[in-house]
Amino acid sequence: VINSQLIMSALIIQIPHCNTLPPYVPGFIPYKELQQFKVLAVYMFFLMCFGLPINGLTLVVTAQHKKLRQPLNFILVNLAVAGTIMVCFGFTVTFYTAINSYFALGPTGCAIEGFMATLGGQIALWSLVVLAIERYIVVCKPMGSFKFSTNYALVGIGFTWIMTMSCAAPPLVGWSRYIPEGMQCSCGPDYYTLNPEYNNESYVIYMFVCHFIFPVTVIFFTYGRLVCTVKAAATQQQDSASTQKAEREVTRMVILMVLGFLVAWTPYATVAAWIFCNRGAAFSAQFMAIPAFFSKTSALYNPVIYVLLTLKHSQKTAYFSV
């Protein structure tokens, strides 16, 4: 049997207390698995071809519509930046490694790719948190009449980057690590092992609680309050018809963005949590690969939702100038 140990380690992961990284060297790949790598390469090429233009279109639409160049929309530009990062530094690497049928860039390349992929996903998540809070403040008016200025918008963007770095940077400096996952064509944090040298367990708990459960809870709370406020205003006719309609349109847009993010990332988070809680259980590479690569579609969701709804309602954007 040619390279049977390599094939098993690459295609079937059984890691009860493993302290070694998956292989970064090529090996014999059966025809069936080779076809899977080709499908993955085609899929990543598709995401690259559409991801970069659609995120660029978000910036173009914002630049062309004066009413969209308002502080409340700065965070949407931040979302486009997150998508661009994922495409340029994540999708391209995965495409290259899928063509080679293994992670051809070595441990250093894995750390860089894992960092960039985490960076893009976390910027998107925390941008949605800030977006939710901003809409909540403007629509629900918990602080009364509030003028949302450029300074507040920049603080919000700064906050997203601080929170993102607090999640993406630790594996680079010894708190956990980035390793190839799934079909070994992309990298992510190590939630497979209990390696005490990297304190993986504490990092994974921190990541799930502080960088998934908490932000998602904030999003659900703020949008729950926002939807109730919009409905109450419509019932009581507190605002003009045009203002109510604009608020409903914006509310629908951001809710669709949140749903898009959750649809993309919840399967990945769920599978990762299962692996973390069931170390030693055998599972195929595809079990992790499918949700991992499906999550990458999030780079397309938000700009598509934003661009389509913005173009549709470009003449009714008075709300953005609040």
State pLDDT tens for residues 113-157: 999 989 988 998 999 899 888 888 877 777 677 677 889 899 999
Lowest mean pLDDT among 60-74, 111-125, 188-202, 232-246: 232-246
Annotation-wise, does 113 bind a ligand? no
Cα 164 from Cα 127, distance rounded (Å):
10
Given a cut of 50, is residue 3 above it in pLDDT?
no
pLDDT of residue 239: 58
Q: Which domains does the chain have, with CATH numbers?
A: 22-188+195-321 (1.20.1070.10)
Cα 7 from Cα 14, distance rounded (Å):
13
Contact 167, 208 (CB under 8 A): no
| Nearest Cα to Cα of residue 295 among 321, 317, 256, 262 | 262
pLDDT of residue 220: 87
pLDDT of residue 170: 96
Question: In which element (H, E) is residue 309 found?
Answer: helix 298-312
Higher pLDDT, 16 or 227: 227
Compute the average pLDDT of residues 189-210.
87
